[in-house]
Amino acid sequence: MNAPGNSAPLATRIIVTGGTFDKHYDAIKGELTFKNSHLPQILEQARITIPVEIVINQLIDSLHMTDEHRQNVLAACRHAPEEHIVVIHGTDTMAETARVVGAAGLAKTVVFTGAMIPYSVAGSDALFNLGFAMAQAQAQPPGTYVAMNARIFAWDAVKKNKGDGVFEAV
């Protein structure tokens, strides 16, 4: 791990799975859909200067995630050369996928994050959540975490409170 002020930044891999974070409004269909990831624009806007590798794992709503999709996320984390990983994930089943990755006991820091409001919509929490997750990926010891609502949670002690629209400790 680099000490503050060290000139060698930690490389971080961002694994994109979809979720509200990357949805955009399709005026023809009249619904939120996926076109491509907004991550390049978000990283530029956030002025993130550490080396980042973006990998599109899938672009789906997390409500449509299956065990096979979760295994694909685990494989992407396992095979990533970077030790610091941020997974962009839909919030509805983020904790479930984090449990799959966390139970694998990877010797990496994997931080899941997402958004309640798409990046492409005014008032989105995507930019903040990504910045917070990127910082946590560098600051936390190896393990799997969920970073939402300016809080960091262990993979086995978090749930989404769907009534309040926030993540909380179990």
pLDDT tens profile 110-151? 999 999 887 877 788 889 999 999 999 999 999 999 999 999
For residue 14 the two structure tokens come to 């961002």
pTM for the whole structure = 0.88
pLDDT (0 to 100) of residue 170 = 93
Task: Show the domains of the chain with their CATH numbers.
Answer: 16-169 (3.40.50.1170)
pLDDT (0 to 100) of residue 8 = 59
Helix 126-139 with 39-46: angle, nearest 10 deg: 80
pLDDT tens per residue across span 49-97: 899 999 999 888 888 899 999 999 999 999 999 999 999 999 999 999 9
pLDDT (0 to 100) of residue 1 = 46
Higher pLDDT, 85 or 43: 85
